[in-house]
């Protein structure tokens, strides 16, 4: 199985434990791109909809393309009742959009899985003049709020974290800043902030949604997650994340 589809093995767990994005981020983005009725939007790889509903509820013509069959089914289950919801189960890299053009294309921690040489030229071509490309990602800091626990968790990683392939080797290098090398203009970054808190069981389930954690082979996988759970449970039973939600926006001239 290719690594882009490894998440698709766990749709229910992914839906429950993957973080949602800041309401303030969506408020800013919707205003910036002037999204609402009459505007056509494309979401790249929505997963199970962590960044879907705020855009869908604007009344725009919402479209999505999702590679994973199970994620596609989950998206239809959650949002299929909306008249303005449209999704296809296909690979953005090879999908033929025909004559479709969009006012905004956006990605929540997805576009970096698409090679730059495809991602930026193809999104540029699919946007209307003045259209917006928006790229979101999450930087979760659990070291600063839990320094002692963090060090103990790193010990678990040192002992049991044995993925088949490290995350950095799963995909081609990707740099959001390179959008302007492909014709985009007015590149901006905006940061928004939040906080998450997990008990030991929740933390293990959340870690189990990371691609490189899913691919840890046995016997390390079971030992790794058991050790994580025990470490957190015995040290306050709480992991706090200080989150930074990063939004990059850029326009097609």
pLDDT of residue 41: 99
Say what the pLDDT of residue 166 is.
Answer: 55
Q: Specify whether the CB–CB gap between 251 and 245 falls below 8 A.
A: no
- In 3D space, the residue among 194, 174, 197 whose CA is nearest the CA of residue 248 turns out to be 174
Q: Which residue, chain included where needed, has tokens 């296909």? A: 90
Find the domain containing 58 and state its range: 3-251
Predicted pLDDT of residue 242: 98
For residue 105, what are its two tokens? 């294309």
Mean pLDDT by 10 residues, the chain (253 residues): 73 94 97 98 98 98 97 98 98 97 97 95 98 97 97 95 62 88 98 97 96 87 96 98 98 98
Report d(CA 6, CA 16) in Å as an integer. Answer: 17
**Element of type H or E holding 13:** helix 11-17
**CA–CA distance, 107 with 115 (Å, rounded to integer):** 14
- Give the orientation angle of helix 200-207 with respect to helix 220-233, to 10 degrees: 150
Looking at residue 93, what is its pLDDT?
A: 96
* CATH number where 204 lies: 3.40.50.150
Written as six digits, the tokens of 74 are 């989950």
Vertex 97: Cα angle to 77 and 40 (nearest 5): 65
Give the residue from 81, 80, 88 showing the smallest Cα distance to 42.
Answer: 88
* pLDDT number for residue 48: 97
Q: What is the pLDDT of residue 3?
A: 55
Which pLDDT does position 2 carry in this prediction? Answer: 59
Indicate the number of domains in the chain. 1
Give the pLDDT of residue 169. Answer: 44
| CA dist., res. 66 & res. 104, Å (int) | 17
**Which one, of 180, 66, 187, 98, lies nearest residue 134 by Cα?**
187
């Amino acid at each position: 199985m290719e690594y882009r589809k490894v998440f698709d093995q766990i749709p229910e767990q992914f839906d429950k434990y993957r973080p949602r994005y800041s309401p303030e981020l969506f408020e800013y983005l919707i205003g910036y791109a002037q999204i609402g009725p009459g505007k056509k939007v494309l979401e790249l790889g929505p997963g199970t909809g962590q960044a879907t509903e705020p855009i869908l509820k604007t009344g725009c013509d919402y479209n999505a393309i999702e590679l994973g069959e199970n994620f596609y089914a989950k998206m239809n289950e959650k949002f299929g009742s909306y008249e303005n919801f449209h999704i296809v189960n296909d690979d953005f890299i090879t999908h033929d959009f025909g004559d479709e053009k969009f006012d905004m294309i956006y990605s929540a921690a997805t576009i970096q899985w698409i090679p730059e040489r495809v991602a930026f030229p193809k999104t540029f071509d699919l946007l209307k003049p003045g259209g917006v490309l928006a790229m979101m990602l999450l930087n979760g800091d659990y070291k600063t709020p839990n320094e002692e626990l963090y060090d103990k968790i790193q010990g678990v990683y040192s002992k049991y974290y044995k993925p088949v392939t490290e995350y950095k080797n799963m995909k081609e290098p990707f740099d959001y800043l390179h959008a302007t090398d492909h014709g985009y203009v007015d590149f901006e970054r905006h940061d928004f902030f939040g906080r998450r808190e997990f008990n030991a069981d929740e933390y293990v389930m959340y870690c189990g949604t990371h691609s490189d954690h899913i691919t840890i082979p046995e016997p390390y996988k079971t030992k790794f997650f058991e050790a994580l759970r025990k470490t957190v449970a015995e040290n306050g039973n709480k992991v706090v994340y200080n989150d930074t939600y990063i939004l990059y926006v850029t326009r097609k001239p």
